[in-house]
Structure 1
Amino acid sequence: MTDSVESAVAAASGLQNWAMMQENQNLLLRKVLDGQSNTILSLVNSVPTAPQLASSGAVGTLLHTTA
């Protein structure tokens, strides 16, 4: 009977260690994904806005096209 108790305790201990390692891996993954999202957000925010169309002058106002 002591063998079954010892094996049950060993299995429970092993599962606790596995769960702790999984939690650590999930925490690391969350940190990496947060860092990537911050990098992407800063890149998106650094893109200038779309240029405005010319409304006066000789460049971009003299060509008339129709589709």
Structure 2
Amino acid sequence: MSDSVESAVAAATGLQNWAMMQEKDNLLLRKVLDGQANTILSLVNSVPSAPQLATSGMVGTLLHTTA
């Protein structure tokens, strides 16, 4: 009878340890993903917006074509 109690306690302790390790791993994964998201966001924000077209001057304001 004591073997079954000891094995039940050992199984419960093992499951608690496993759950704690899973929680730790999930926390680490969340931190890594948050860091990657911040890096990607800073890269996206560093890209300049589309260049504006010229509105005055000799270059880029007129288009002359012949068919």
* Same fold (TM > 0.5): yes
Deviation at 1:64, TM superposition (A): 5.5
The alignment's C-alpha RMSD in Å is 1.3
Partner of 1:18: 18
Partner of 2:8: 8
Q: Which amino acid aligns with 2:18?
A: W
**TM-score, normalised with respect to structure 2:** 0.88
1:35-56 deviation line (CA, Å, top 9, x unaligned):
0011011111111111111111
- Identity rate, percent: 88
Runs of 5+ unmatched residues, structure 1: none
Runs of 5+ unmatched residues, structure 2: none
**TM-score, normalised with respect to structure 1:** 0.88
The runs of 4+ residues in structure 1 deviating greater than 6 Å are none
